[in-house]
Amino acid sequence: MRTGAGLGTAGEPDDDDDARARGLELLLRLTDALCELGCTADPQERIRFAEVLGDHLTKQVDIRGVKLREDAVTLARAALNAPHGERVLVTVVRIFEGAAAAAEFDRLIEAVAPPAPTLPGPLSAQDESTARALLARAQGEISARRLRDGLVGDLNGLQLPAGLTPEQLFTHVLEWNVQPDGLPPAVLLLDHAARLTPTHRAALTVWVDGWAQRAGLADAVRRRRTERPAGPTDTDIPRCLIIAVEPARDGSGEVVVRTWLNTATGYWDPQPEEPVVTTLEGLGAAVERALQQGARLWAAQWAPDPGGREQPPPYIEFVLPYDLLNHDVAGLRLRSGDGRPLPLGVKYGVHLRSLERMRTDDVLVRHQWRERWRALRQHGVTVHGWSEPDAQRLDAWQIALAGEARHTAVVLDAPADSFAREALKAAIAEGIGLAVWDRRGVFVAERREVVTAVFASVPTSAQIPRAIHRLRQKAEVDSQPHLLGRHIAFFWDDPTRPVDIQPTDHDDLAS
């Protein structure tokens, strides 16, 4: 539908009564349906629903939060009086209640809606309907930011609003004039969407090619695809699962686990999943569930490197507080099919990152972090070592690190020891993004030499994660429990790859 089902809109004189009756019937049905949602039972949740609806309608929706039905009427009217507001309402219901509830709202709307009129515009009503259906199915895999940025590039920098979902962005450009080559922005949007979703790429591409063929613009579509940048901007950016673990610290032993998925090599655009509450003993199961989703997307999007270079494995990055950095996350055992459980570090590159630094708003800490990382990328690894004797002169050790910007890595004893933990905290505060230690405790000289050899074996710092991964694999293949690869902790904290980790109320999640 292109309007709010006639509500608040004047139709032709002989259609006024029918339009008004349809609008009132739809208002009644949507009000009843909103009253049945679990998220509207609580007044505070209704206010949150209204805020999200208003954000997506790009107008304020105020409710009193006193009477359920009064608030439901206000929500329904706000949606019906906005262009394409019904579709926005369905999207917000999907956010709060899931796909089944959203499908029921879809059914209610379609049951009352009049046949879609044929309005002026580059797409037919049938084209628009099928395009919306494809975008709705694919929206979980499409980065709205990358879709908007790609479309801006295709429209020669023409400004588009930020913060819109793919469906809302489609609505925004639906009636825009065609480009000089005859292609409507809405069709270009579908073509960009196809590039961003591995699972639904084929269906979206078929839609675009079919439309272009019917419009006689197949050559124009081919030219657009050829002219776009062929590859990612930074080939060092991996496919990645990011896992933040934070203890509840209320005596329960529970931890809050948040996950993000970065699905494409070359682009850093991690998408958050729902947080879960578990325990450290249950962390492996939480990781396994997240990997099931990640593996499906990675497999669908993987392609051999056109230059014949080795493709890095997907990385697993654990964002941990100081007191969990020595936890053996690389040794978490995961089962594949009916095989025996294997350590996580055998199949994936496993990295550690700092929760406290990821969250900090200290400008100096962030600046030093970026500067050390830039030095690492440009000049390679220069180690500032720490060992037992340094425990007696920790202040001097940190002063030496702070005064020498060329130091880009630390090698130290396991931070389970209080002195080594303070050294690691100091290194993180001074901007160090690369650290290695032996989880068993004291990092003896011969094992430090192994790490030195690993650093020396790679031509660029970007290849260090793969070298550590191979070290772990070799230790497992050789079945030698004393080998460093079984016990190495690898801290690889890239400031150019942030995730937004805001504190979450543990009680809300646990309930």
Q: Which residue is listed with tokens 């090619």?
A: 209
Q: Facing residues of 412 across strands?
A: 437
CA–CA separation, 347 vs 241, rounded Å?
13
pLDDT digits (tens, 9 = 90+) for 403-456: 988 999 999 999 988 899 999 999 999 999 999 999 999 999 999 999 999 999
Q: Tokens standing for 277? A: 């509450």
* Joined tokens for residue 279: 């325990």
pLDDT confidence of residue 56:
76
Percent of the chain with pLDDT over 90: 43
Across 15-28, average pLDDT: 74
Q: What value does the mean pLDDT of the chain take?
A: 84
Contact indicator for 39, 45 with CB cutoff of 8 Å: yes
The pLDDT, as a whole number, for residue 308 is 47
CA 247 – CA 251 distance, rounded (Å):
9
**Do the Cβ atoms of 436 and 411 come closer than 8 Å?**
yes
Closest by Cα among 379, 351, 357 to 240? 351
- The residues, ordered by sequence, that sit 6+ positions from 440 with a Cβ below 8 Å of its Cβ are 414, 487
Distances (CA, A) of 46 to 50, 59, 92, 163: 6, 17, 12, 22
Q: What is the DSSP letter of 175?
A: T
User: DSSP assignment of 87-129, as one string?
Assistant: HHHHHHHHHHH-HHHHHHHHHHHHHHPPPPP--SSSS-HHHHH
- Residue written as token pair 């959203």: 102
Q: How far apart are CA 370 and CA 374, in angstroms?
A: 6
Which of these ranges, 18-22, 309-313, 338-342, has the smallest mean pLDDT? 309-313
Both tokens of residue 431?
A: 């901007």
Return the pLDDT at 306: 42
Dump pLDDT digits (tens) for 467-502. Answer: 999 999 999 888 777 889 999 999 999 998 998 887
Q: How far apart are CA 215 and CA 235, in angstroms?
A: 37
> Which of 166, 147, 168, 186 shows the shortest CA–CA distance to 83?
168
Whether 272 contacts 259, CB under 8 Å: yes
Distance of alpha carbon 259 from the chain centroid: 8
- In whole angstroms, how large is the CA radius of gyration of the chain? 27
Res. 191 pLDDT band, cuts 50 70 90: very high
Query: For 44-66, how does the pLDDT look when each residue is reduced to its tens digit (9 = 90+)?
Result: 889 989 888 887 777 788 888 88
Q: pTM score > 0.85 for this model?
A: no
pLDDT digits (tens, 9 = 90+) for 229-261: 655 556 678 889 999 999 988 889 899 999 998
- Banded model confidence at residue 119, pLDDT cuts 50, 70, 90: very low
CB 276 within 8 A of CB 351: no
Query: What is the C-alpha separation between 387 and 400, in angstroms, rounded?
Result: 14
What's the gap between Cα 190 and its chain centre?
21
The four Cα atoms 107, 108, 114, 116 give a dihedral, to 10 degrees, of -40
Phi/psi region, residue 58 (left: phi>0; alpha: psi -120 to 50; beta: rest), is left
